[in-house]
Each structure stands twice: as C-alpha cells, then as structure tokens.
Amino acid sequence: MAAPIPDQTSISGDTLQRALAQGVLTLQQVEMLRYLENTATGLPATAPSDDEKFRFINGFGDIFVTIGIALFLGALSYFAVEGIGGAGAGFTVALASWLLAEYFTRKRRMALPSIVLLLVYAASVFSGTLIVMAGTEAFNVSAAAKDSWPVVIAGLVTIAATALHYRRFRIPITFAAGVAALVASVLALVVAIAPDFAENYLRPVLLVCGIAVFALAMRFDLSDPQRLTRRTDIAFWLHMLAAPLVVHPLISGLVASGNLNAATSLGVLAIFIGLAVVAVLVDRRAVLVSGLSYAGIAFGSLVRQIGLGEVMVPLTLLVLGALVLLLSAGWHALRRRLFALLPAALVHRLPAHT
C-alpha cells in the first residue's frame, strides 16, 4: 500500500506550466491534475476562467526593484553620454541591462524587472548601433534616423542581440522586441529603396507588417490552444505589438481629417466591430484596446451630428465603458456563439472556450 502524501500547499499554475515546458509532465497529465483539483474543490471542470492569463508582477518587490533599475540605468546613461558619447552610452546601458538580468531574471525570476531590462537592452542596442552607423556623435536618435539605411542595419543588429538574449534568459517578450526591430528594418528598407512609393503607401505597408505579426502570434497560439506553455506568453506580446500595427493604418486614414461625416463614422465603427469579432474568436483583447480610441472618435462624431454636442464626451465615455463591461461579462458566452458558426477543425485549434 502506498504511503500517504503529506498535505501541502496546492501546486500553482505557474509551476505546472514550467513542469510542462521542461518535460516533467505531459499536457494530458497537467489537464488531469487541473481536473482533479477542480472536482476536489467542488468547482465544475468547465468553470469559466480568463484564458488570457499574463504574469506582470510577482509582488511589490518587483516594483521596488524596477524603480531601482530605472534610477541606476538612467544615471548610468547620463554619465556615459557625458563621458563616451551617445553610441558608447547605448552599448554601456545594454551591457549593464544584461548583467542585471543575470541576477534579477536568471536567478530571481522577477517578472516586471525582467521585462524592463529586456526593453532597455533592446532599445539601447538599437540606438547605439543607429548612432554608430549614422556617424553622429550626439545622443540624438531622431537625427540619426533621417537616413534609412542606418535604421535597417540597427534593426538587424537588434534582432541578433535579442536572439542571444532569449537564448540566455527565455523571456517571452523578447520575441516581440525582435519582431519590432524587424518591422522597423522593413519599413526603413522600403523608404530607402522606394522613397516615392513609401510616401504614398507607407500605411498599407505598415498594415501588411501588422497582419504578418498577427499571423505569427496566431501560430504560437494555435500550437498551444490550452495556453499552458511559454508559447502563449510569447503570443501575448506579439498580439500587443500587432494590434497597433493593424488598427492604426486601417482606421487612422479615415479619422485623420478630424471632420468625420456619418458614413465615415459608421465605417469606422463597422471596422471596430469586425476587429472585436476577431478578438473574441482568438481570445485576445489587445486589438480591441487599440481600436477603442478610434471607436470613441467615430461615435463622438455621430453624437455631435445628431445635435448632442454638449454631452458628446461624457456620452461617448459612457457608451465605451458600457461596451467594455458588457464584453467582459459576456466574453465566454459570445465565444461559444461564434464558435458554433465555425468548422469543428478550426474550433479545436483555437484557444479553448468554456
């Protein structure tokens, strides 16, 4: 007869994800453990839950350390600029970010400091390379970016640097940082090769880049429909990057004039509804958040045109707030209704619905 197992604190979801990622448990074993936990606590096995989980901080210690990182790297950047110039400052801050990550990311596994250190590292590599390639001495990235070729090279160097960083630290946001550098390189390459084309069609090119990033995010999502591994965290950050790249070029041209008519306003709202449907289907809210401001502008324009200009702002905020709350409350029910309209093969690959 097997010896009784001591009663201990239940295993957290993060521990199960790490066990799955490291091969300690299989996907079926993790699902069975979660089923047993739910049934043991009296919860239904299909209890609705928020599938778009994201770990941003482990505790207030993360915030405290992040403040220290900001103070230290900010002061280091200042002294480096004064002593060795902008390019040297960029690479110095990048090296310092890597060394700090050796402790706070690799040893302490602190979420928020790890994210901040990665972003500072990538931005510092990009800016340092950009200044070197542009041949400027001052720490002035905007001046260095006037020539597109340095931006192309800086983006490629940043991609390589973030790849090395991911190999060492395995931070999910690193993928998004590398892809952002790739998008910058692509846009700069288009400007460098075909400046006239870029001047007229940069917005469609940006939209294509956004769709490509969204497709990459979905590739990670579809490979982990239960959202149990690191792939879902990578997909989260890629969706965060893709959302503005898709929404801004798709809608900004319609509202750029600032004088929307009724037809254009309704068109913007129709696009927003389409994006909302996509967001619900893939269970990712980033594209909705990116589109809220445009939806507010379009709705406010309609309110003004029907003669309610004096209450345009509060009424728009009220409607947008109500929309967000209704979507939050009925998210899972709406997903079930939409899934009923899709082929079963596709439904089985999308994130699970309850």
Burial 31-50 (b: 16+ CB within 10 A, else e): beebeeeeeeeeeeeeeeee
Please tell me the predicted confidence (pLDDT) of residue 53.
65
In a domain, 276, yes or no: no
Q: Domain total for the chain?
A: 1
Burial 135-162 (b: 16+ CB within 10 A, else e): ebeebebeebbebbebbbbbbbbbbebb
Size of the chain in residues: 354
In a domain, 331, yes or no: no
In a domain, 326, yes or no: no
Q: Which parts of the chain register pLDDT below 50?
A: 1-2, 5-8, 39-48, 137-139, 144-145
In a domain, 226, yes or no: no
Please tell me the predicted confidence (pLDDT) of residue 37.
59
Non-local CB neighbours of 4 within 8 Å, separated by 6+ positions: none
Q: From CA 120, how far away is CA 84, in angstroms rounded?
A: 19
In a domain, 163, yes or no: yes
Please tell me the predicted confidence (pLDDT) of residue 44.
40
- Tens of pLDDT, residues 24-70: 676 556 656 665 655 444 434 444 455 566 667 777 888 999 999 99
In a domain, 144, yes or no: yes
Q: Apex CA 230: angle with CA 163 and CA 122, to 5°?
A: 30
* Of the candidates 190, 193, 236, 230, the residue with the CA atom closest to the CA atom of residue 216: 236
Please tell me the predicted confidence (pLDDT) of residue 1.
43
* Of the candidates 194, 195, 288, the residue with the CA atom closest to the CA atom of residue 239: 288
For residue 177, the enclosing domain spans 54-193
- Tens of pLDDT, residues 175-220: 999 999 999 999 999 998 888 888 888 899 999 999 999 999 999 9
Please tell me the predicted confidence (pLDDT) of residue 154.
94
Please tell me the predicted confidence (pLDDT) of residue 47.
41
Q: From CA 229, how far away is CA 146, in angstroms rounded?
A: 41
Q: Which amino acid does the sequence have at 184?
A: A
Q: From CA 168, how far away is CA 6, in angstroms rounded?
A: 36
Please tell me the predicted confidence (pLDDT) of residue 54.
63
Please tell me the predicted confidence (pLDDT) of residue 7.
47
User: Cβ distance 172 to 116 under 8 Å?
Assistant: no
